[in-house]
């Protein structure tokens, strides 16, 4: 029986060496998906903040929405687009935030394209003059 153990002594090391790269790749893929999900939540938050800022602004709704979206979280401002749509006078304000989430995790980032995330938020327009 000791002779059989000597012959199988390196089997687990070889199996680990064969499987370890695949396990690391799967872990990096899970990390990348987690980062994209985090960006999705940040984009939704930025849309709510932009809509709120545009709803309470009296003059420059688009500028207020952009500033609020920039301050909403750690999103890269160069990849962030904010558009504001105003409904009927005194009705609603809709902010749309579009963000290009980069896939830059080593190895996995080369396999996956960048992801475009969008979120809309609508709020009732307010005015301090009323």
Q: Look up residue 50 and give its two tokens.
A: 């932009």
Six token digits for residue 63: 């500028």
Give residue for tokens 């989430």.
101
Q: In what order do the strands lie in the sheet with 92-101?
A: 80-86, 92-101, 115-124
Rounded to two decimals, what is the model's pTM?
Answer: 0.81
Q: Per-residue pLDDT tens for 28-81?
A: 999 999 999 999 999 999 999 999 999 998 788 899 999 999 999 899 999 999
Structure confidence at residue 1 as a pLDDT band (50, 70, 90) = very low
Q: Closest by alpha carbon to 78, among 58, 61, 101?
A: 101
What gap in Å lies between CA 76 and CA 7, rounded to an integer? 56
Cα gap 43→30, rounded to integer Å: 20
């Amino acid at each position: 029986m000791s002779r059989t153990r000597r012959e199988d002594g390196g089997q687990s090391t070889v199996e680990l060496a064969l499987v370890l790269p695949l396990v690391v790749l799967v872990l990096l893929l899970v990390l990348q998906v987690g980062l994209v999900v985090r960006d999705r939540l940040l984009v939704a938050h930025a849309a709510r903040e932009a809509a709120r800022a545009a709803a309470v602004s009296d003059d420059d709704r688009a500028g207020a929405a952009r500033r609020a979206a920039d301050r909403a979280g750690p999103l890269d401002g160069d990849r962030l687009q904010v558009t504001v749509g105003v409904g009927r006078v005194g009705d609603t304000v809709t902010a749309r935030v579009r963000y290009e989430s980069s896939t830059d995790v080593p190895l996995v980032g080369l396999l996956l394209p960048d992801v475009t995330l969008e979120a809309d938020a609508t709020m009732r327009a307010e005015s301090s003059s009323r």
